[in-house]
Amino acid sequence: ERERRRARAPHPGVMSRASGKQRVCYFYDSDIGNYYYGQGHPMKPHRIRMAHNLLLNYGLYKKMEIYRPSPATFDELRKFHSDEYMRFLRHITPDNMGEYTKQMQRFNVGEDCPVFEGLYQFCQASSGGSIGGAVKLNKGTSDIAINWAGGLHHAKKSEASGFCYANDIVLAILELLKHHRRVLYIDIDIHHGDGVEEAFYTTDRVLTVSFHKFGEYFPGTGDVKDVGANAGKYYSVNFPLKDGIDDASYASIFKPVIGQIMQMYQPGAIVLQCGADSLCGDRLGCFNLTIRGHAECVRFVLQQKVPTLILGGGGYTIRNVSRCWTYESAVVLNEEISDDLPYNDYYEYYGPDYKLHYAPSGMENLNIPENLEKIKSKVFEHLRQLQPAPNVTMPAAPPPAAADEEDEDEDDPDVRVSQRGGDERQEHGAEFYSGRPGE
């Protein structure tokens, strides 16, 4: 049996639910920082290694179960992505790309989304951590799962987009839908979470909400008027923003909107994409959030006390990305950590101050309160159209993704087999399980 675990044994310091402490698992592949998009490319997987090293040196690893993700298999990836696209990603390399010119155009690979050494393995690692986190939540062995290598929200069924190739978020949500009637997806990256919204645009089983810069900005989608379609009408929520939003303005919209959604939708699980390009000083971003302001969103989501998968995303000033995700890991663990950075492998990146937090810039906030109120009113108007939480009749839960079966011996094998045999992947009509029945 492949195991999703392939992990260190749980640390004895991990608290059980009985003690009132949330049980946190954390996925990290030690090869992740070696993947390189190429010279001058803003996306640097090295930032995930920097965040990992920082939280190790703060001692945060003692408070959570650390897992190395099993790479997502081809079959797992094709639960959302097309076979042709995944085959292409599996075979293309910098050496043979000359033979794939037509397909590179078709799958939007080459410019923003370059071919690099180990591209497919990178997708497997990123997606494996998010699927693995979803499996842990489904099994009830963790309350919160973290995968900072995930959150690649622009990838589409059959094309790469915005530095993203495989949509780990969609794959994780599909996994969560095996056990939860409703899943809430929240995106605080500066860019619209278009790939995730598109995947679930016509179903009411996933409500997507994205807070993002809108207007002459990538990817160009995410108008407040885009609300979903068919069974999914009003289950896509978009909050378009302008440059310079600060902590106070962001909290003034985020908390009421998420609070209202929680009340109306009552999700069984939440996926939170924590793209750090919404921080002030980002190389590609134009917001003015501090790390504390960004983390306040994480704190508020966790106060909902619903199983939560926490993912990375964008973030291009890498010393600030690693600061942010380290602090947010501490917030998840309810740990206070010092503003003085501990010595770590990348200490020189954090000079000249070597502090965890940094001040916002003096940039103007173009989001005036009246306009934010207007957009908030429109969003609330759409939310009022929601039916009370849809009550989906759940089929027998499908087996977990390829793997996390460390407790297999505890189950009655006959029950396990009959459940699988009778499952035939009963799908909700509007869902993107692109596999064949019973696969």
**Cα gap 120→160, rounded to integer Å:** 12
Instruction: Give whole-number Cα distances, 111 to 62, 115, 161, 217, 344, in Å.
Output: 41, 9, 10, 17, 34
pLDDT, residue 19, reads: 53
Helices 247-265 and 369-384: crossing angle in degrees, nearest 10, is 10
Helices (H), 21-118: 46-57, 74-77, 83-91, 101-106
Report the phi/psi class of residue 117: left, alpha or beta, with left for phi > 0 and alpha for psi in -120 to 50: beta
What is the tens place of the pLDDT at every residue in 199-255? 999 999 999 999 999 999 999 999 999 999 999 999 999 999 999 999 999 999 999
Helix axes 83-91, 119-139, angle to 10 degrees: 130
Which of 425, 419, 420, 422 shows the shortest CA–CA distance to 438? 425
C-alpha closest to that of 75 among 37, 11, 127, 36: 127
SS3 311: strand
For the stretch 368-410, pLDDT in tens is: 999 999 999 999 999 999 877 666 666 677 788 865 444 433 3
Is 154 assigned a catalytic role?
Answer: yes
279, exposed or middle or buried, with CB in 10 Å at 0-12, 13-18, 19+?
A: buried
Which parts of the chain sit beneath pLDDT 70?
1-20, 389-395, 402-439
Name, in order, each residue with C-beta under 8 angstroms of 329's C-beta and a sequence gap of 6 or more.
26, 51, 55, 60, 64, 146
Enter the DSSP assignment of 400: P
Q: Supply the pLDDT for residue 389.
A: 65
Active-site residue among 46, 52, 153, 154? Answer: 154
d(CA 280, CA 358): 9
Report residue 14 as tokens.
């991990």
Biggest distance spanned by C-alpha atoms of the chain: 65
Tokens 């909290």 sit on residue? 251
